[in-house]
């Protein structure tokens, strides 16, 4: 594998700098977000590289579990931060956290215990990358779904309350919105699967090929990852929407938009 130097990374960073300069003229304010995101990428990836280096040398279930829950906690915070309207109090953080825990952790355990079958099953070389990819993609689906749900509930308040007055239950009054929201949460992974191999070469497959792995083996792992991500994002979105809908209504089936905050 060809080793990249600091100069190589600096040359790639000039593209981001150029984009920031252009965006400043076109859309003021975006360049600051872009710069912060780029710095966070460098710092976070360097730190996780050092952590994984130490973790791979120990193969400890305790440390794997601690890092996994830290990743989950940060993902839950990112879900909450990406919503225009979010639930006030612990619910704003808890809905995304619980839904991702239910989906991503369950799918990762299934992959490690049933599909991959490595020994020990919690070997960090497999457990952490799998969980990271599942959490990242599930986080995108959940945040998109929750943002669309809360925004639609506010925009269509009159329609929802009219359906409630006509005798619909809380779930029935949101039936159309829930379908649209679930579709929104799955659009990223559906697009990724539909374009894989023709429009794009997915990241994990590309990384393995660049590292010298046989292309066919890299393809097998990428197919596995795409299926796992689809399941994680789908079940996570379903769980998040279910919890959010229950929170939007009280025990008397009344819409409670005051539970949302900006």
Whether residue 77 contacts residue 226, with contact meaning beta carbons closer than 8 Å, is answered with no
Instruction: Convert the pLDDT of each residue in 186-233 to its tens digit.
Output: 888 888 888 887 777 777 777 777 777 788 888 888 888 889 889 988
Residue in this structure with the two tokens 């939007």, named with its chain if needed: 248
Phi, psi for residue 200 in degrees, rounded to 5: -140, 155
Residues of the chain with pLDDT under 50: none
Per-residue model confidence (pLDDT) at position 208: 76
Angle formed at CA 58 by CA 53 and CA 59, multiple of 5 degrees:
100
Task: Label residue 193 exposed, middle or buried (CB < 10 Å: 0-12, 13-18, 19+).
Answer: middle
CA–CA distance, 158 with 168 (Å, rounded to integer): 14
State the pTM of this model. 0.80
Sign of CA dihedral 189, 193, 198, 203: positive
Task: Report the largest interatomic distance among the alpha carbons of the chain, rounded to a whole angstrom.
Answer: 67
């Amino acid at each position: 594998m060809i080793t990249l130097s600091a100069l190589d990374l600096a040359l790639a960073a000039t593209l981001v700098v150029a984009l920031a300069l252009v965006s400043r003229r076109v859309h003021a304010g975006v360049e600051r977000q872009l710069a912060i995101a780029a710095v966070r990428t460098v710092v976070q990836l360097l730190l996780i590289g050092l952590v994984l280096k130490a973790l791979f040398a120990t193969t400890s279930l305790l440390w794997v579990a601690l890092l996994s829950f830290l990743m989950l906690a940060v993902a839950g915070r990112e879900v909450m931060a990406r919503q225009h309207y979010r639930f006030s109090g612990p619910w704003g953080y808890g809905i995304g956290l619980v839904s991702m825990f239910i989906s991503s952790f369950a799918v990762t355990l299934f992959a490690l215990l049933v599909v991959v079958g490595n020994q020990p099953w919690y070997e960090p070389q497999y457990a952490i990358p799998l969980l990271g990819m599942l959490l990242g993609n599930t986080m995108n689906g959940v945040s998109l779904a929750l943002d669309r749900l809360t925004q639609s509930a506010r925009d269509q308040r009159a329609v929802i309350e009219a359906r409630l007055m006509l005798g619909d239950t809380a779930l029935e009054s949101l039936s159309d919105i829930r379908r649209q929201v679930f579709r929104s949460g799955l659009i990223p992974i559906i697009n990724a699967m539909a374009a894989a191999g023709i429009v794009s070469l997915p990241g994990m497959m590309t990384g393995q090929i660049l590292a010298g792995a046989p292309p066919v083996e890299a393809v097998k792992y990428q197919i596995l990852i795409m299926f796992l991500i689809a399941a994680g994002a789908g079940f996570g979105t379903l769980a998040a929407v279910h919890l959010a809908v229950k929170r939007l209504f009280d025990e008397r089936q009344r819409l409670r938009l005051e539970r949302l905050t900006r």
